[in-house]
C-alpha cells in the first residue's frame, strides 16, 4: 500500500516539475528575458525557478526541508501572481497553472495527511 502511495506521490512531483518547466519557459519567452542583458525580472524569476526545482528535487527524495521550502515558495508564488501583470496568461499557460495548483494541493495533501508523511526526514 505504501509503495503505491509512494509511486503516486513521486509521479505528482514529476508532473509538477514538467508543468513548471513549461510555465517557466513561457514566462521567459513572453517577457523577452535575455541572459545577455539581465534585468531584475530575469534575476528574480531565475532565483525563484531555481529554488522551486531544488525544492521539488528534495521533496522527491522525502526531505522535510524541501517540503518547507516548497510551501514557502508556493505562498511566495501566490503573492507574485497577485502583484504581477497576468497578461502573459494565454489559454495554455492558464490551464497549466490551474493544473499545477491542483498538483501542488495533491502533493501537500499526500505529504501531511497520508502514510507517506512518515518517509519525510
pLDDT digits (tens, 9 = 90+) for 95-113: 998 999 999 999 999 999 9
5 touches 115 (CB < 8 A): yes
What pLDDT is stored for residue 12 in this prediction?
Answer: 97
Give one DSSP letter per residue of 7-29, joined into a string: HHHHHHHHHHHHHHHHHHHHHHH
Give one word for 10, left, alpha or beta, with left for phi > 0 and alpha for psi -120 to 50.
Answer: alpha
> What pTM, to 2 d.p., does this model score?
0.89
pLDDT in tens, 36-93: 888 888 889 899 999 999 999 999 999 999 999 999 999 999 898 888 776 667 888 8
Amino acid at each position: 500500500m505504501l509503495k503505491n502511495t509512494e509511486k503516486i506521490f513521486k509521479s505528482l512531483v514529476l508532473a509538477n516539475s514538467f508543468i513548471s518547466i513549461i510555465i517557466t519557459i513561457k514566462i521567459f519567452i513572453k517577457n523577452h528575458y535575455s541572459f545577455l542583458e539581465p534585468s531584475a525580472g530575469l534575476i528574480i524569476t531565475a532565483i525563484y525557478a531555481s529554488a522551486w526545482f531544488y525544492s521539488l528535487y528534495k521533496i522527491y527524495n522525502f526531505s522535510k526541508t524541501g517540503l518547507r521550502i516548497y510551501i514557502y515558495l508556493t505562498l511566495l508564488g501566490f503573492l507574485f501572481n497577485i502583484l504581477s501583470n497576468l497578461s502573459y496568461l494565454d489559454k495554455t499557460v492558464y490551464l497549466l497553472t490551474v493544473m499545477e495548483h491542483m498538483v501542488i494541493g495533491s502533493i501537500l495533501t499526500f505529504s501531511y495527511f497520508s502514510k507517506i508523511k512518515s518517509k519525510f526526514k
